[in-house]
Structure 1
């Protein structure tokens, strides 16, 4: 099966699988599970953030024992496998650029939204007479006010702590970039989607995916998924496709 894949796609899938096996089995066997999170990406102003995480997080997926587990890596690699032909269309160099830039774009847009959230919570704390930056610097950790005000302050502080301590991981942003590029170059190509009994045009699938990701990301109704990372990857894929499309002498299927 892997032998029929273009080389870069094959290697990306293999690396993802190897990293998943190492981080979920070998590191736990060595009693070093904290290394799992060293490779995931944190909010850039978090004390847990390291620059290399922006790249390594693209090869990380949800722990086998938590959250979506194996389904996270399975669906990402399944989609990448099904769109592997795009490597032959773009060429290896462009495909590699697409994968990594989409992953970086996913990280950036996701954390732009996280920054907006942090600043919103910080402003609410200021209105309650509390400075979150003094809190994290150790200057002032004393909550003051009525019992309800203290409860509200603690809730807002916990919201900020959750943002800066929750890692971003997965190839979803990079994979969304691949799908977005395909849908932009071949907008009228018909796609068969799992659990949908009819085919849908690629451009309609892309629009629907971005709209639903923005909705869930903004509403927070599915907080376990980094929806704005998906949008970030899709935006980068769309931009790169627009740049490259005029240079590709390919038939656009109807």
Structure 2
């Protein structure tokens, strides 16, 4: 059985309780929205960490917490571990939001350009570059628009679609404790690099430092090449690991205690 430490137990209970009562309205209000969204609220940098998009989402995060968190809490103590957890989670949110800001700005510029010149070719280019997952749904409309490029109703319809796709991206909230959990995994790998872990899939032993390297490489690759297609906040994961690295190294350079 897992030996829960006080902070890990409290975080686990809080996440589960919030998950039980979570609905779309709560996610819309407390999930982390883009800085460019009217729905953004600074408190979301904290509250998004206790929301999850489904059972598998919270299960994977809580497994990470209960496997790697207790050793860190015993090593640092409750207060320092708590600070570390939220530092990584909020840091991950800030990195994700910063990158998201520039990505959304790019989408907005495409919207602005299309509004200035709404043509079938421009509409196809917008969907292809900014909303590829919508392409199949828009196929019939695109065919009609190409056949009647000057039809005012089709032009207006294309503008409505472009505006809606932009608004959906701006208002899409990010949720989950993954940033903090990846920070915990990084912290574990830095402090206990040679600890032998046993994976379930595949069932092989691996040292913690190699697991961290593997996770980091996968997230960097996914963030650069798959972030737009798999609906996973890879840059939040990277942010959690980055902020964990910075804080662990900083604490390691200090001779005095943190508190």
- Tell me the TM-score normalised to structure 1 length: 0.78
Q: Does 2:87 match 1:88?
A: no
Structure 1, gaps ≥5 residues long:
25-32, 63-68, 131-141, 249-254
Deviations 1:142-193 (A, max 9, x none): 5534321244346645664343111110011101111101111122222222
Q: For residues 186 and 225 of structure 1, do their structure 2 counterparts lie closer, same or farther at Cα, with a shift above 3 Å needed? A: same
What do you get for the CA RMSD once the two structures are aligned?
2.3
User: What corresponds to 1:216 in structure 2?
Assistant: 222
Distance in 2 of aligned mates of 1:246 and 1:113: 29
Q: Does 2:84 match 1:98?
A: yes
Q: 1:47 aligns with which of 38, 43, 53?
A: 38
Distance in 1 of aligned mates of 2:213 and 2:165: 31
Deviates more, 1:159-168 or 1:225-234: 159-168
Structure 2, gaps ≥5 residues long:
131-161
Distance in 2 of aligned mates of 1:182 and 1:247: 19
Deviates more, 1:84-93 or 1:144-153: 144-153
Distance in 1 of aligned mates of 2:201 and 2:126: 44
Distance in 1 of aligned mates of 2:252 and 2:195: 15
Q: 1:107 aligns with which of 76, 82, 93?
A: 93
Offset at residue 239 of structure 1 (A) = 1.4
Q: Does 2:172 match 1:166?
A: yes
Offset at residue 245 of structure 1 (A) = 3.4
Deviates more, 1:202-211 or 1:154-163: 154-163
Secondary structure of 1:73's aligned partner: helix
User: What corresponds to 1:19 in structure 2?
Assistant: 18
User: What corresponds to 2:183 in structure 1?
Assistant: 177
Secondary structure of 2:194's aligned partner: coil
Q: Comparing both structures, which one devotes a greater share of its residues to helix?
A: 2
Q: Does 2:54 match 1:56?
A: no
Distance in 2 of aligned mates of 1:165 and 1:119: 13
User: What corresponds to 2:4 in structure 1?
Assistant: 5
Contact residue 217 and residue 223 of structure 1 kept, 8 A: no
Distance in 2 of aligned mates of 1:229 and 1:118: 16
